[in-house]
């Protein structure tokens, strides 16, 4: 197992290097100029050129890439063109809200979707099953921002139960922290609940038709035991896979959700950086997201061995 | 169940067992904090290095200016106690008012002022003009400094107190010593508020506190002039990229003041009895259809004139700000309506679209169906509709439109390129100019027509430039007005650019906030919250 983990971790290095090269090249080729954005609408061409030179944007591709790559090898993600703050500092400022949003959404989605899928499979063809599937279709179909606006209207403006926007750090208390996360997590969670519930139902249906389930029933095992101990454990591999993929999708979903609920997370940081062509920040955040994705895949692979001992590496 | 009950229930259910903290912000603390949603993110905080309005707006709270333009556009002494000018107009002696202190406790000295002017002047069009005729700028002692010129410059106080970017903010000498093309990293000023750098989350939040060491002037506050009395302890800028969220937050009382609500949401805000909506800035903005004078087809005067004749400002304004006619008007000139500079000399053609006449003029011009490369920023709510109106007008006029839908960052880069449109260049783009910058030629880059040195599009029209020179040299308001008429007439005749209308915008705030001034930027002094 340890050899496998080490092998997998080492395999992430070339992946990250390729990602780094890709990200840098893409930004280099992309149209747009941070100097023009910085200079503002009233600036003269001379202003823009002066700012370009001061930022080093007039240097050749290879020189810029070499300098940047050398810096990230030393753990230096660079300095934001606009704020003059270290990118690592900006990421550190923004990582907690995004992580909080993702964790709460994931917990919400898994704790609702897995039982929903199991029950739908158990009650296949019944009204309950159809309701679960209808909800799943709805969850897929309605965009996150629409759900967000509706939730904010009902629970913030009309009922005055929850805030419309913002984020309170966890160290200021669990409830203030949670208060700001409920609406965005529910808005963002809809898609994942739908996704996980559908996969869980489909996998459970397949597993429930297996011989060992029939055997368990014949031996007198209870319904709960059959569903959650025998069937669910054997259905776990695809469910875990989809949860893992969901984490990657959450990163994308967080961008929209953070904008709608004005949460100062990495999603908004990324969008702001892209619109301003703040290259060091875009590069830093994309590298981080890539790293998270690679890490999640690693964890999923390792979880497979726990759920299914037949899987050996 | 209201929010407080919900919170209590939630706290009872969750926090009691775990011992977590409950919300602690008291009503008193909330009343001493003004929460403001700015027009854009405060992405950097150097008002000399960057020239965005949002940076200027934040900087005006932190750094003070020597003079401050009031609502009548007259520069009033601000950090200055008084000045004397020699009879020949060449030597200006300034004296700082007593008691000026930077936020770090150091007194404001004349050497700080000299260093600040030296950093500002190369970045500012008026500053550059003054430097070009400067003999010396020196600190005489701690409170006095002298500025000697080689020829008189009657607009000197205006240059030091104007609202247009970059403003001449006064910083400590050690900070002002930073080159103008490098960003400052300390935000120490002598203005009415200090900046909480440790709480700054670019893209999300900026925090300011009342500066204990600031001593206001006597009198009445008016724009950048007069006493800047801060009535709250703390000012929080909450950046909200989504207008619907900002609107909901304002209605919900989570923020107090929204600088730039979009016009679509105004009716909704007006229905809320806790929210007030009013015009933000009487000087508004001037929309701009900017043409590239270097290349075909707009290097042809008759083509430019045909386009100006075809444009309907009303169409642009309705697309931009809707049917609320209190918000917009059609322009017959280039300068800001409602100010002494506004002129319609020669501008009748701008006020009414004449498509038939424009088609005739285009036919006379010899237009050879060259593509018109229109750069249209899709991510700017004001520019996208302008681009769509233009594409429609040009097509109806019979021009070959190459509509380039892109983002503002790309427009910003591409408009600086002087290549022909087919080689990465461009034919036209849209923008708008703050009315405060268009009240006279001093800060109005867009109307300059000095060829290589002009703004994007690089018009070269000596008669316009002659008018601008006459304005700077004009010793009386009457002569200034004559110069403005000349500039307007020549700018229309030669189509320096084509204005697309004058429009204002709203701001919105909670009813418990008072003291908000109308002006080209949000002034935080005098604003209180009950």
Q: What is the pLDDT of residue B30?
A: 66
* Higher pLDDT among residues A26 and B278, named by residue: B278
**Contact residues, B window 134-193, toward A, CB-based 8 Å cutoff:** 164-165, 181-183, 185
Q: Does A187 touch chain B (CB under 8 A)?
A: no
Q: Out of B12-21, B343-352, B404-413, which region has the weakest mean confidence (pLDDT)?
A: B12-21
Res. B19: pLDDT tops 60: no
User: What is the distance in angstroms between the Cα of B81 and the nearest Cα belonging to chain A?
Assistant: 32
Question: Do residues B361 and B398 make contact, with C-beta atoms less than 8 angstroms apart?
Answer: no
Closest residue, chain B, to A255 (C-alpha): B241
Q: Does A42 touch chain B (CB under 8 A)?
A: yes
Cα distances (Å, whole numbers) of residue B373 to A305, B296, B378, B391? 59, 10, 15, 10
Q: What is the pLDDT of residue B194?
A: 98
Q: What is the pLDDT of residue B28?
A: 59
Q: Does A164 touch chain B (CB under 8 A)?
A: yes
Q: Is A48 in Cβ contact with B408 (below 8 Å)?
A: no
Distance CA B169, CA B46 (A): 10
* Higher pLDDT among residues A3 and B376, named by residue: B376
* Higher pLDDT among residues A45 and B235, named by residue: B235
Question: Do residues B408 and B380 make contact, with C-beta atoms less than 8 angstroms apart?
Answer: yes
* Higher pLDDT among residues A272 and B140, named by residue: B140
Q: Does B13 touch chain A (CB under 8 A)?
A: no
Q: How many CB atoms lie within 10 A of CB B209?
A: 17
CA B381 and chain centroid, separation: 17
Residue A127 tokens read as: 């009204």
Q: What average pLDDT does this structure show over B382-392?
A: 94
Cα distances (Å, whole numbers) of residue A130 to A223, B113, B357? 21, 75, 66
Closest residue, chain B, to A158 (C-alpha): B252
Q: Does A28 touch chain B (CB under 8 A)?
A: no
Question: Do residues A18 and B149 make contact, with C-beta atoms less than 8 angstroms apart?
Answer: no
Could you tell me the pLDDT band of residue B198, with boundaries at 50, 70 and 90?
Answer: very high
* Higher pLDDT among residues B137 and B381, named by residue: B137
- Is residue B166 reached through a cis peptide bond, with omega within 30 degrees of 0 on the bond before it? yes
Q: Does B132 touch chain A (CB under 8 A)?
A: no
Distance CA B166, CA B499 (A): 23
Distance CA A170, CA B219 (A): 46
Q: Out of A47-51, B198-202, B481-485, B513-517, which region has the weakest mean confidence (pLDDT)?
A: A47-51
Closest residue, chain B, to A171 (C-alpha): B21
- Chain A residues whose CB is inside 8 A of the B11 CB are 175
Q: What is the pLDDT of residue A209?
A: 85
Q: What average pLDDT does this structure show over B393-416?
A: 90
Could you tell me the pLDDT band of residue B13, with boundaries at 50, 70 and 90?
Answer: very low
Q: Does A88 touch chain B (CB under 8 A)?
A: no
- Chain A residues whose CB is inside 8 A of the B239 CB are 262
Q: What average pLDDT does this structure show over B307-327?
A: 94
Beta strands B400-406 and B371-377: pairing type?
Answer: parallel
Q: Out of B5-9, B97-101, B247-251, which region has the weakest mean confidence (pLDDT)?
A: B5-9
Model pLDDT for residues A26-84, shown as the tens digit of each residue: 878 877 777 777 776 656 677 778 778 877 888 888 888 888 889 988 889 988 988 88
Q: Does B23 touch chain A (CB under 8 A)?
A: yes
Tell me what the pLDDT averaged over chain A comes to.
Answer: 86
Backbone angles phi, psi at A278, to 5 degrees: -85, 85
Q: How many CB atoms lie within 10 A of CB B380?
A: 17
Q: What is the pLDDT of residue B16?
A: 38
Q: What is the pLDDT of residue A43?
A: 66
**Residue B13 belongs to what H/E stretch?**
none
Q: What is the pLDDT of residue B11?
A: 38
- Chain B residues whose CB is inside 8 A of the A48 CB are 412, 416
**Contact residues, B window 408-447, toward A, CB-based 8 Å cutoff:** 408-410, 412-416, 431-433, 437, 443, 445-446
**Best of A175, A179, A271, A272 to disrupt the B interface by mutation (most B CBs within 10 Å)?**
A175
Could you tell me the pLDDT band of residue B79, with boundaries at 50, 70 and 90?
Answer: very high
User: Three-state DSSP class for B31?
Assistant: helix
Residues of chain A with pLDDT under 70: 1, 40-44, 309-313
Q: Does A95 touch chain B (CB under 8 A)?
A: no
**Best of B203, B207, B285, B458 to disrupt the A interface by mutation (most A CBs within 10 Å)?**
B203
Q: What average pLDDT does this structure show over B227-244?
A: 95
Percentage of chain B lying above the pLDDT 70 cut:
94
- Chain B residues whose CB is inside 8 A of the A159 CB are 1-3, 6
Q: Does A171 touch chain B (CB under 8 A)?
A: no
Question: Do residues A261 and A164 make contact, with C-beta atoms less than 8 angstroms apart?
Answer: yes
Tell me what the pLDDT averaged over chain B comes to.
Answer: 91
Beta-sheet strand order (sheet of B91-96):
B80-85, B91-96, B144-149, B134-139
* Higher pLDDT among residues B350 and B53, named by residue: B350
User: What is the distance in angstroms between the Cα of A290 and the nearest Cα belonging to chain B?
Assistant: 22
Res. B458: pLDDT tops 90: yes
Q: Does A12 touch chain B (CB under 8 A)?
A: no
Q: What is the pLDDT of residue B181?
A: 74
Res. B64: pLDDT tops 90: yes
Residue whose C-alpha is closest to residue B51's, from B147, B150, B167: B167
**Contact residues, A window 281-300, toward B, CB-based 8 Å cutoff:** none
Q: Is B181 in Cβ contact with A260 (below 8 Å)?
A: no
Could you tell me the pLDDT band of residue B507, with boundaries at 50, 70 and 90?
Answer: very high
Question: Do residues B485 and B343 make contact, with C-beta atoms less than 8 angstroms apart?
Answer: yes
Question: Do residues B94 and B78 make contact, with C-beta atoms less than 8 angstroms apart?
Answer: no
Res. B37: pLDDT tops 90: yes
Q: What is the pLDDT of residue B7?
A: 42
Q: What is the pLDDT of residue B6?
A: 44
Three-class HEC string of A186-255 = HHHHHHHHHHHHHHHHHHHHHHHCCHHHHHHHHCCCCHHHHHHHHHHHHCHHHHHHHHHHHHHHHHHHHH
Most confident of A241-255, B42-56, B425-439: B425-439
Residue A1 tokens read as: 């197992």
Q: What average pLDDT does this structure show over B257-280?
A: 93
Q: What is the pLDDT of residue A59?
A: 87
Q: Does B121 touch chain A (CB under 8 A)?
A: no
Distance CA B341, CA B339 (A): 5
């Amino acid at each position: 197992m340890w050899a496998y983990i080490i092998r997998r971790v080492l395999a992430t290095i070339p992946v990250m290097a390729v990602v780094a090269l890709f990200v840098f090249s893409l930004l280099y080729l992309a149209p747009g100029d941070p100097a023009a954005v910085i200079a503002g609408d009233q600036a003269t061409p001379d202003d823009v050129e002066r700012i370009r030179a001061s930022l080093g944007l007039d240097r050749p591709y290879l020189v810029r890439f070499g300098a940047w790559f050398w810096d990230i090898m030393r753990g230096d993600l660079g300095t934001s063109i606009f704020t003059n703050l270290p990118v690592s500092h900006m990421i550190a400022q923004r990582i907690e809200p995004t992580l909080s949003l993702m964790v709460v959404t994931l917990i919400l989605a898994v704790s609702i979707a897995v039982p929903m899928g199991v029950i739908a499979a158990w009650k296949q063809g019944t009204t309950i099953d159809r309701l679960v599937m209808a909800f799943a279709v709805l969850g897929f179909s309605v965009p996150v921002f629409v759900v967000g606006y509706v939730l904010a209207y009902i629970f913030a403006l009309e009922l005055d139960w929850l805030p419309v926007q913002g984020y309170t750090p966890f160290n200021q208390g669990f409830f203030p922290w949670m208060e700001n996360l409920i609406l965005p997590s529910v808005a963002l969670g809809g898609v994942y609940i739908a996704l996980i519930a559908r996969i869980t139902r489909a996998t459970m249906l397949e597993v429930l038709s297996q011989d060992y389930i029939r055997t368990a029933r014949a031996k007198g095992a209870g319904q709960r035991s059959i569903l959650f101990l025998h069937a669910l454990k054997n259905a776990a591999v695809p469910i875990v896979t989809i949860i893992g993929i969901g984490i990657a999708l959450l990163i994308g979903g967080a961008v929209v959700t953070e904008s709608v609920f004005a949460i100062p997370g990495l999603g908004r940081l990324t969008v702001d950086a892209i619109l301003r062509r703040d290259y060091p920040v875009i590069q830093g955040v994309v590298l981080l997201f890539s790293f998270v994705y690679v890490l999640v895949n690693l964890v999923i692979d390792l979880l497979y061995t726990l759920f299914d001992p037949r899987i050996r590496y | 169940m209201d929010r407080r009950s919900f919170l209590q229930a939630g706290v009872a259910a969750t926090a009691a067992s775990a011992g977590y903290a409950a919300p602690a912000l008291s009503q008193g603390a909330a009343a001493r904090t003004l929460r403001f949603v700015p027009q854009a993110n405060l992405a950097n905080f150097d008002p000399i290095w960057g020239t965005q309005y949002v940076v200027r707006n934040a900087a005006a709270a932190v750094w003070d200016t020597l003079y401050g333009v009031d609502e009548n556009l007259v520069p009033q002494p601000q950090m200055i106690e008084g000045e004397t000018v020699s009879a020949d107009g060449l030597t200006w002696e300034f004296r700082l008012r007593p008691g000026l202190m930077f936020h770090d406790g150091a007194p404001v000295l004349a050497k700080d002022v000299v260093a600040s002017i030296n950093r500002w002047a190369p970045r500012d069009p008026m500053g550059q003009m003054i430097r070009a005729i400067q003999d010396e700028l020196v600190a005489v002692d701690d409170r006095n400094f002298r500025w000697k010129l080689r020829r008189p410059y009657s607009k000197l106080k205006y240059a030091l107190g104007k609202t247009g970017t970059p403003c001449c903010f006064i910083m400590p000498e050690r900070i002002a010593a930073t080159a103008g093309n490098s960003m400052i990293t300390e935000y120490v000023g002598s203005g009415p508020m200090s900046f909480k750098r440790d709480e700054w989350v670019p893209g999300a939040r900026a925090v300011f506190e009342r500066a204990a060491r600031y001593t206001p002037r006597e009198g009445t506050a008016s724009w950048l002039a007069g006493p800047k009395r801060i009535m709250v302890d703390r000012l929080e800028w909450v950046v909200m990229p989504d207008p619907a969220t900002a609107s909901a937050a304002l209605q919900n009382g989570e923020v107090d003041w929204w600088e730039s609500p979009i016009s679509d949401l105004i009716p909704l805000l007006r229905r809320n009895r806790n929210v007030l909506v009013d015009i933000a800035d009487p000087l508004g903005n001037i929309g701009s259809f900017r043409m590239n004078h270097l290349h075909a087809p707009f290097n042809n005067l008759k083509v430019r004139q045909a386009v100006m004749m075809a444009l309907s400002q009303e169409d642009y304004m309705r697309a931009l700000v809707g049917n609320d006619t209190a918000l917009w008007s059609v322009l017959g000139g280039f300068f800001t309506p409602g100010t002494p500079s506004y002129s319609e000399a020669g501008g009748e053609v701008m006020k009414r679209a004449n498509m038939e006449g424009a088609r005739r003029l285009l036919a006379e011009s010899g237009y050879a169906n060259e593509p018109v490369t229109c750069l249209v920023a899709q991510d700017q709510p004001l520019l996208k509709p302008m681009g769509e109106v233009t594409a429609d007008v040009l097509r109806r006029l019979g021009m070959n439109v190459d509509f380039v839908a892109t983002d503002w960052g790309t427009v910003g880069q591409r408009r600086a390129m002087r290549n022909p449109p087919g080689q990465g260049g461009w034919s036209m783009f849209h923008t708008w100019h703050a009315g405060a910058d268009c009240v006279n030629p001093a800060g109005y880059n867009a109307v300059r027509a000095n060829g290589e040195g002009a703004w994007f599009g690089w018009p070269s029209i000596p008669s316009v430039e002659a008018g601008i020179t006459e304005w700077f040299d004009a010793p009386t308001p009457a002569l200034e007005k004559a110069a403005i008429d000349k500039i307007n007439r020549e700018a229309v005749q030669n189509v320096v650019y084509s204005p697309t209308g004058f429009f204002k915008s709203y701001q919105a705030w909670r009813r418990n906030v008072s003291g908000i001034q109308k002006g080209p930027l949000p002034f935080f002094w005098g604003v209180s919250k009950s």
